[in-house]
Structure 1
Amino acid sequence: MKLVWSPETASKAYIDTVKSCELLHGSSVAELISAMAAGWNAEVIVETWARGGAILVSIGLAVAAHHTKGRHICIVPDEESRAEYVEAMSQSGQSDYEMLVGEPEEVIEGLQGIDFLVVDCGGDNDFARIIRAADLGRRGAVLVCKNAAAASRAAYGGGFRWRSVLEGKSRIVRSVFLPVGDGLDVAHVGAVGGNSGEAKRESRWIKRIDRHSGEEFVIENELSCL
């Protein structure tokens, strides 16, 4: 089994997030992330959040979890952040989520089978450690770093490297930088065991080297959307 894209579910989550965020002046980032989480039918959706952060993406993830009938889990570093998050989500009408309090890279170790993970490149002290500590789903996973503009990625020499972040723990099917909001870096990592358990069929893979970043992409020709 592996993550399978559902355009219908993605569209529903996108539209519902647009409606939910209209009263909060809208956010193209929230709608996009919500559509990705719903479209990939994520069953375990995890985000990190800290006091003072924007709440729109969290609303989008809650909407996505509703459509996939999955879990939406938010990890916050302290009680002040927890209280602010609960208040903001309550004002938006969202209540179906789980809260975990503590250092994100430690708390996330207690979660299993994460399908969709959102971290804040600008807010988390070391988002790479959080990603490395995550137990990703056997069907594969989608990883999203928000606020990933060049200024937020200075620690990586001006160029984000998924390979260095993951340190070989997962096979990168595809990665992309999206110039939305303050930037989104997104990676789709492959299922554990590849195509084991599925009907045998020929698969064709495309390998490409990004001339600007030097990063290598390995893309399955059946991948219809990230």
Structure 2
Amino acid sequence: MTWSAENATKAYLRTLKLGNKPMEPDVAEFISALAAGSGARLMVEACSDGAGPTTLALIAAANQTGGRAVCIVHGPDELRSSVEFLGSEADNAELVVGDARKLLMGEYLGADFVLVDCEMREHERVFRAAQAGAVEGCGGVVVGYNAFCGRPCRSGRTKVEHLPIGGGMTVCRVPPQAKKSQWVVRVDEDTGEEHVFRITSPRRKWIEA
């Protein structure tokens, strides 16, 4: 992923204009700048409750990169509260009811920016699913917020940074998985001409217990 300081700055300023900041200062702005600066196109948030300032941050980033902002909530009550909170910005986000882990390994596999609320149940499994999805795609960034409220997210596969921003943040940059390739030579029996092909093997699937 290529970093864009211009996108980061514009998303940061747009988030400030959206206002409505019940969270600790700078959390939403940091998330928005990180997502936009990374050039993310599919941004997914897994919420413990309903949409909040972090959702607005992704909407601002998506507006800057021309991407999509998705917010996954648990049920219809959270969906209603999300629509109420977002107000006119609700049309700029895809509000989805469902299991965040399954959706990140299914419909949203390959999301290049995933935001996980560490106050949600099984947030560690959701975090790992987001990492796995990024590996299957072209890499990405996975962020856990409210990290001081639950067990910190860890991974033995990729480097994780713990930042003292707001209620604590965990940031993981996931590189795309390298494809293995080999050269194959085929000889045309009629002409004797050699043809050389480069074959790329499928990427190894990430299997979660």
Q: What is the TM-score when the length of structure 1 is the normalising length? A: 0.71
Question: Is the CA contact 2:11–2:60 (under 8 Å) kept in the aligned structure 1?
Answer: yes
The one-letter amino acid of 1:9's match is N
The one-letter amino acid of 1:71's match is R
> Is 1:100 matched up with 2:85?
no
Partner of 1:13: 11
Q: Secondary structure of 1:162's match? A: coil
Q: Secondary structure of 1:47's match? A: strand
The one-letter amino acid of 2:146's match is N
Bigger radius of gyration among the two: 2
The one-letter amino acid of 1:63's match is A
Q: Secondary structure of 1:95's match? A: helix
Q: Secondary structure of 2:39's match? A: coil
Identify which range, 126-135 or 35-44, moves more after superposition: 126-135
TM superposition shift of 1:56? 0.7
CA-atom RMSD in angstroms = 2.1
Cα distance in structure 1, aligned partners of 2:33 and 2:41? 14
TM superposition shift of 1:120? 0.9
Cα distance in structure 1, aligned partners of 2:127 and 2:61? 21
Partner of 1:161: 154
> Is 1:109 matched up with 2:105?
yes
Moved over 6 A (4+): none
Which of 61, 65, 83 lines up with 1:64 in the alignment? 61
Question: Is the CA contact 2:22–2:53 (under 8 Å) kept in the aligned structure 1?
Answer: no
TM superposition shift of 1:132? 2.9
Partner of 1:48: 46
Q: Deviations over 1:58-96 (max 9, x none)?
A: 1011000110111111111111111111111116x4421
TM superposition shift of 1:102? 1.5
> Is 1:127 matched up with 2:123?
yes
Cα distance in structure 1, aligned partners of 2:81 and 2:51? 11
Cα distance in structure 1, aligned partners of 2:78 and 2:48? 5
Question: Is the CA contact 2:115–2:144 (under 8 Å) kept in the aligned structure 1?
Answer: yes
Question: Is the CA contact 1:176–1:187 (under 8 Å) kept in the aligned structure 2?
Answer: yes
TM superposition shift of 1:140? 1.1
Q: Secondary structure of 2:40's match? A: coil
Partner of 2:162: 177
Change (3 A) 1:161 1:132: closer
Question: Is the CA contact 1:62–1:94 (under 8 Å) kept in the aligned structure 2?
Answer: no
How many residues get paired? 175
Q: What is the TM-score when the length of structure 2 is the normalising length? A: 0.76
Q: Secondary structure of 2:91's match? A: coil
Change (3 A) 1:17 1:45: same
Identify which range, 37-46 or 101-110, moves more after superposition: 101-110
Partner of 1:205: none
Gaps of 5+ in 2: 182-209
Q: Secondary structure of 2:110's match? A: coil
TM superposition shift of 1:17? 0.6
Cα distance in structure 2, aligned partners of 1:59 and 1:114? 18
Partner of 1:191: 176
